[in-house]
Amino acid sequence: MVSRRTVSLGGLGLFATSAFVPTASALDGLATDLIEGTDEFALAVDAYIYGYPLVTMEMTRRVITNVAEPKGTKAPMGQMIKVREYPNAQFRDVTAPNADTLYTTAFFDVGQEPWVLSLPAMGDRYALFPMLDGWTTVFEVPGKRTTGTGAQKYVITGPGWEGKLPKDVVEYKSPTSMVWLLGRIYCSGTPEDYKAVHALQDDVKLVPLSAYGKEWTPPKGKVDPAIDVKTAVRDQVNRMNAAEYFTLLAELLKTNPPSEADELMVEKLARIGIVPGQDFDKSKFDPSFAKRVPQVGFDRIMLHYKFSDGDVTDINGWGFTTKTGIYGTNYIQRALVTAIGLGANRPQDAVYPLSAKYDGGMIKRAYEGSENYVLTFKKGAMPPVGGFWSLTMYDENYFFVENPINRYSISARQDLKMNADGSTDLFIQNVSPGAEKEANWLPAPKDKFVLMMRLYWPKESNPSLLDGSWVLPPVKKAT
């Protein structure tokens, strides 16, 4: 394989043996090539990719918790966010919203003391409460798949914490001080089911260990006017220069330490002035890298989607990954999932296949609202899940689509109609397919759109998406 460094050094030989006299702009380009061809630059890019999840989590935490009291999709540190209803087509707070589960979430810090999470009994209802550390690793995930739906109590302790715990709680050890609880409770979306899920949300409790078993009123949050709550988090991270980025990364490493598996990366970080537990030593960092390291680093992250060496699968026009939630030393995959799907579950809990083009034979073409499409599940081949599945419609910007029946996703809860041969068609189009088929209709916009399949608790044995024994069928043009 030819590296960027090889190409750059080869270019030097060309200039030395030819009569070409470079212009000022050409010299600037050569200087850039020389900089980016050095081992030091490559090391800084690797460090950028390594730190991307931790820096993004921190910036997300700042935006979500920068309020005085819980409201909508935000709440102060240590306080619960309870999303009470599904978004509509006017919702623009986050891309790719869902209309299947109501979120019950919180950011909290276990660096000073543990926190206690209490979950109510949920009967047969599907729910999961994954906990992410500062590096986006899902370190625990209580819920129907793993711990059942009875009443449960957990105490989440931080790195190196030692002390006595109540006898009626189970300890979960967080590898970092930062913890993000991303609870999801399945809801059909009817007024009656909203009411039932709201009651469950209200019974989810989160308190510091010192307040466990006592009456506790959470303090008001502190609002920092310097925090940008309007610009998308990814844009805020991406516009940092390398010095700003590594300064924040070094600060975060003090309370969110690397894992033991990161030993080699820690040694590399030290060479550019990043040592866990210490401030960023700028004297070891080449300031000429400040602008280009973030640009090249993010480009490499996004290129991993197309050149993933097996981390991302593309079958029948559906792109998806089953390498989420736990990453080991696969830093580039961890950064990619952070960039395009922050908060991803373990694959045993959820997989999210995405399709932006239909199966047009030799050439795959983007979906157009002027065309009619169909997704057909053969008899006995509906999505194999223990939780639920759904197919969600988004416009090309990943927002819900306004439509006459206010349906943003389609799933088994629509009482889908089967064909005479036992197969099931989902009709994906802008205009109703007719009253007799409307139960199976997913309304599309007039313009371009994308589709996302949500598979919660995918089965792990035949048939299974996880082992390839079940394959998502292609979306085709309706005949």
Say what the pLDDT of residue 35 is.
55
The answer to whether 100 and 141 are in contact (CB under 8 A) is no
What is d(CA 65, CA 76) in angstroms, rounded to the nearest whole number? Answer: 4
Does residue 355 sit in the same domain as residue 473? yes
Does residue 254 sit in the same domain as residue 122? no
Q: HSE of 323 in the Cβ direction (CA atoms, 13 Å)?
A: 19
pLDDT band, very low/low/confident/very high, at 17 (cuts 50, 70, 90): very low
What is d(CA 330, CA 144) in angstroms, rounded to the nearest whole number? Answer: 28
Inform me whether the pLDDT recorded for 22 exceeds 60.
no
- Amino acid identity of residue 314, one-letter, is D
Question: Which tokens is 265 given?
Answer: 């990366």
Pairing of β 101-109 and β 178-186: antiparallel
pLDDT in tens, 355-409: 999 987 777 899 999 999 999 999 999 999 999 999 999 999 999 999 999 999 9
> Within 10 A of 96 (CB to CB), how many other CB atoms are there?
16
pLDDT in tens, 122-166: 999 999 999 999 999 999 999 999 999 999 999 999 998 999 999
Does residue 2 sit in the same domain as residue 77? no
The answer to whether 95 and 352 are in contact (CB under 8 A) is no
- Please report whether residue 318 resides in a domain: no
Q: Which residues contact 336 (CB under 8 A, 6 or more apart)?
A: 301, 302, 304, 305, 308, 311, 312
- Please report whether residue 326 resides in a domain: no
Say what the pLDDT of residue 338 is.
95
What is d(CA 99, CA 147) in angstroms, rounded to the nearest whole number? Answer: 24
Does residue 79 sit in the same domain as residue 206? yes
pLDDT band, very low/low/confident/very high, at 428 (cuts 50, 70, 90): very high
- Please report whether residue 370 resides in a domain: yes
Does residue 279 sit in the same domain as residue 399? no
CA angle 238, 241, 246 (to 5 degrees): 95
Say what the pLDDT of residue 36 is.
66
Does residue 235 sit in the same domain as residue 175? no
The answer to whether 444 and 411 are in contact (CB under 8 A) is no
CATH of the domain at 233: 1.10.3360.10
Inform me whether the pLDDT recorded for 69 exceeds 90.
yes
- The domain of 430 spans 331-477
Helix (H, G, I), strand (E, B) or coil at 277: coil
Does residue 11 sit in the same domain as residue 109? no
The answer to whether 115 and 318 are in contact (CB under 8 A) is no
The answer to whether 155 and 116 are in contact (CB under 8 A) is yes
CATH of the domain at 162: 2.60.40.1610
- Please report whether residue 21 resides in a domain: yes
CATH of the domain at 428: 2.60.120.600
Q: How many residues does the chain have?
A: 479
- Residue 354 per-residue DSSP state: E
Does residue 430 sit in the same domain as residue 468? yes
What is d(CA 12, CA 34) in angstroms, rounded to the nearest whole number? Answer: 9
- Please report whether residue 308 resides in a domain: no
Question: Which tokens is 115 given?
Answer: 């926190």
Does residue 335 sit in the same domain as residue 446? yes
Please say whether the dihedral angle defined by the alpha carbons of residues 222, 226, 231 and 237, taken in this order, is positive or negative: negative
pLDDT band, very low/low/confident/very high, at 37 (cuts 50, 70, 90): low
- Please report whether residue 309 resides in a domain: no
Does residue 129 sit in the same domain as residue 236? no
Query: Taking all residues of the chain, what is their mean pLDDT, rounded to a whole number?
Result: 91
- Please report whether residue 218 resides in a domain: no
Q: What is the dihedral of CA 34, 36, 42, 45, to 10 degrees?
A: 160
The answer to whether 385 and 465 are in contact (CB under 8 A) is no
The string over 388-406, giving b where at least 16 C-beta atoms fall within 10 Å of a residue's C-beta and e elsewhere, is bbbbbbbbeeebbbebeee
Q: Is the peptide bond before 294 cis (omega within 30 degrees of 0)?
A: no
Does residue 139 sit in the same domain as residue 204? yes
Q: Closest Cα to residue 50, out of 131, 110, 134, 132?
A: 134
pTM for the full predicted model = 0.90
- Please report whether residue 337 resides in a domain: yes
CA angle 95, 338, 317 (to 5 degrees): 65
The total number of structural domains in the chain stands at: 4
Helix (DSSP H) and strand (DSSP E) numbers for the chain: 9, 23
Does residue 135 sit in the same domain as residue 248? no
